[in-house]
Structure formats: structure tokens, C-alpha cells
Amino acid sequence: MRLPITTGLIALAACGGGGTSIDTADSSTYNCATETRADSFAVGLDKHGAAAALDFKLMQADPAPPARGDNIWQLQVSAMSGGTVGATVAGATLTATPFMPDHAHGTPIQVVITDKGGGMYQLSPVNLWMPGLWETTITATSASGSDQAVFRFCIAE
């Protein structure tokens, strides 16, 4: 289970290790050209949930593509049945957890989820505060079921 980091001091201390793609010792840049685990950003980037109960679609990102610092995402959640995406899911309970797998830390800033209606949810801020690969796990619970998906973006600088 990934626990959120609650203080920036702990998060900074956790950055001593790292992946093999870090370009500089101070982690000011990251070579995204060699990163094979990241998603290619596109409006409408679609992820079926791991349990095939829900579908998650990134409808908008500001900035686009996601960048270092605070990001605002618009996410559409839809029901799934038999591998087919169905109607959007209103009133779901969502959480979003940004995490850097190479550094084994998250972000000190909690993502606030706002239900915009009609199956649309705003995630703000999605704080990707340093260069590297970020995995943001979205977990949703609704009458259609519970599920999660992971969006992976490389932040170069």
C-alpha cells in the first residue's frame, strides 16, 4: 500500500535514491526520451480499470502534457461490462495518489477531487514536483463497482 507523504521534508529526504535515467545529481532534469514506462499524453487517454468495472479517461490536462508543479486534470469515469465501456458514472468517490516509483515517494500535496457532474471529475492539484516518472493511481468507488487505473507521465524538468 502506498501511503501519502505528509511533509515536504520527508519527501525530499526520500529522493536520495533514484532510477537510472536521472541526468544530473541534483535531479533537475530527467531523460524522458529513454523512459519506456510512461504513457504518451493525448486528450482522451483511456485506461480500463484493473478490475474491468470502471473506465477512466483523461479528458483535459492543464498544462498539457502534464508538467512539473501543480496540474489540473479533468477525468471522465464510465461503467464497464464485459470489456465494453458504458454510461458515465456520476457520484463516485475518487482518490488520486501521485507516486514516484524510482524514488519511492509521493507528493506532500493532497489531490482534491471535485465532482463536476455527469461522470466528470476535476483533480487539482496533481502535484508532480520533481523530474522523473510519476504514476498517479486513480481509485474510484461507485454503484457500478470499485476500480483503479494508473496514469504514468514522465516529467523532464
* Cell numbers at 108, concatenated: 506532500
Q: Output the pLDDT for position 87.
A: 97
> What's phi and psi for 29, nearest 5 deg?
-140, 165
Distance CA 155, CA 89 (A): 30
Running DSSP on this structure, what letter comes out for residue 148? Answer: E
* Cell numbers at 151, concatenated: 496514469
**CATH architecture, range 8-155:** Sandwich (2.60)
Q: Where are the domains of the chain?
A: 8-155
Distance CA 75, CA 97 (A): 14
Cell 471522465 -> residue: 76
Q: Output the pLDDT for position 65.
A: 96
- Nearest to 17, CA basis, from 143, 132, 136, 111: 132
61-101 tens-digit pLDDT = 999 999 999 999 999 999 999 999 999 999 999 999 999 99
Task: Specify the pTM.
Answer: 0.83
Average pLDDT across the chain, whole number: 87
How much of the chain, in percent, has pLDDT values that exceed 70? Answer: 83
Q: Output the pLDDT for position 57.
A: 98
Given a contact cutoff of 8 angstroms between Cβ atoms, the answer to whether 74 and 64 are in contact is no
Residues 6+ away with beta carbon under 8 Å from 138: 56, 75, 94, 95, 96, 123, 148, 149, 150, 151
91-145 tens-digit pLDDT = 999 999 999 999 999 999 999 999 999 999 999 999 999 999 999 999 999 998 9
